[in-house]
Amino acid sequence: LLTNDTYGRFSLPVMSGISDALVDKGVSVFLCNVEDDKRLGQLHVDAMLDKRVDGIIATGKRIDRHLPVDLANLRIPVIYAFTQPDPGAIAFVSDDAGGARLAVEHFWRLGRRRIAHVTGPASFAVVHARAQAYRDVLTEKDLPVMEPLLGSWSEAWGHEAVKELFDGKLSKSGGEKPDAVFCGNDQIARGVIDALRERGLGVPDDVGVVGFDNWQIVAEATRPPLTSVDMNLAALGREAGLTLLSLVGGEPAEPGIRKLPCRLVVRQSCGRLPDG
């Protein structure tokens, strides 16, 4: 198992799922941290080949960046999980657009009609995938589309974004203020909730909030507890592990990127379905 994110909150559940799948079948897992060092990555790959490992799974910090190592044309099977694959390889990623749809459609079912989107930096592919899904759902439901606010993956940005939403151009031009905010991660959502509280706005009574990642240490400690999209990363890792086992066993597998569904974990921050 090769990674550049040994202690990351995304990699840990992926690695846990991989390990569960393989250890259940009596297969040992060797973990190598390649960091962002191409030379170190190649050393690890050469060492793994010398040890005659049966296969390699590569995972990383994000789905739109390739690990700093060449895994093409090896004599053993290679699977990518939550990192950018080589062309024609087998890869598992979360369906970010589908996850965003879950959040926005949930708001719509709750009766929210002015839904804003506050998210991370434009340099992340997932930011654009989720933002497009947000626009698509609002267009399908004939609701107003507010231009997504892009910033950093931080509570501070969530706090600042509320000021943009309630005091910025939208407010000054007479536009209606949001009654819901879909956030690109749970840290942003926590900042949004704190900023709304400071304005005397109740969550979820006045404004509903949904996050992304379902980082439990944040989501469950938020007040009120945060509804969030879970990327099912442990299940993703398990699928990657099982697929590697199939390849090692000589069973063919179709190359390509498999997008695995997310799920919405509903807590108290978005409100309840309207009566009737």
Query: Tens of pLDDT along 105-133?
Result: 999 999 999 999 999 999 999 999 999 99
Could you give the 3-state DSSP secondary structure of residue 235? helix
Domains identified in the chain, total number:
2
Residue 215: the pLDDT is 94
Residue 172: the pLDDT is 47
Could you give the 3-state DSSP secondary structure of residue 203? coil
In a domain, residue 83? The reply is yes
Domain shared by 121 and 39, yes or no: no
- Average pLDDT over all residues of the chain: 94
* Cβ count within 10 A of residue 125: 15
Domain shared by 90 and 152, yes or no: no
Residue 248's domain comprises 2-95+231-262
Domain shared by 242 and 159, yes or no: no
Residue 105: the pLDDT is 98
Domain shared by 104 and 146, yes or no: yes
Domain shared by 117 and 205, yes or no: yes
Q: Order of strands, edge to edge, in the sheet holding 90-94? A: 32-33, 2-3, 56-59, 78-81, 90-94, 256-260
Based on the number of CB atoms within 10 Å of its own CB, is 145 exposed (0-12), middle (13-18) or buried (19 or more)?
Answer: middle
In a domain, residue 270? The reply is no
Residue 83: alpha-carbon gap to chain centroid: 12
Residue 276: the pLDDT is 44
In a domain, residue 276? The reply is no
Which residue, among 264, 257, 252, has the nearest Cα to 84 in the 3D structure? Answer: 257
Long-range contacts of 214-222 (CB under 8 A, 24+ apart): 214/186, 214/265, 215/9, 215/185, 215/186, 215/187, 218/186, 218/187, 218/190, 219/186, 219/265, 219/267, 220/267, 222/186, 222/189, 222/190, 222/193, 222/269
Check pLDDT > 70 for residue 266.
Answer: yes
What percent of the chain stands above pLDDT 70? 96
In a domain, residue 139? The reply is yes
Q: pTM for the complete prediction?
A: 0.94
In a domain, residue 273? The reply is no
Domain with 85 in it: what CATH number?
Answer: 3.40.50.2300
Domain shared by 40 and 159, yes or no: no
The 8-class DSSP code of residue 161 comes to H
In a domain, residue 115? The reply is yes
Domain shared by 84 and 126, yes or no: no
Vertex 166 angle, CA 102 and 214, to 5°: 30
Domain shared by 197 and 111, yes or no: yes
Based on the number of CB atoms within 10 Å of its own CB, is 85 exposed (0-12), middle (13-18) or buried (19 or more)?
Answer: buried
Summarize the confidence of residues 252-274 as an average pLDDT: 92
- How far is 222 from 215, CA to CA, in rounded Å? 11
In a domain, residue 236? The reply is yes
Query: Tokens in use for 213?
Result: 């990642």
pLDDT per position as a tens digit, 129-165: 999 999 999 999 999 999 999 999 999 999 999 999 9
CB 72 within 8 A of CB 50: no
Summarize the confidence of residues 227-247 as an average pLDDT: 97
Domain shared by 123 and 192, yes or no: yes
Domain shared by 165 and 236, yes or no: no
Domain shared by 221 and 106, yes or no: yes
Q: Confidence band (pLDDT; 50, 70, 90) for 35? A: confident
Q: What is the DSSP string of 102-160?
A: HHHHHHHHTT---EEEEE--TT-HHHHHHHHHHHHHHHHTT---PPPEE--SSHHHHHH
Phi, psi for 10 (deg, rounded to 5): -90, -45
Vertex 174 angle, CA 168 and 179, to 5°: 75
In a domain, residue 86? The reply is yes
By residue count, the chain amounts to 276
Domain shared by 154 and 207, yes or no: yes
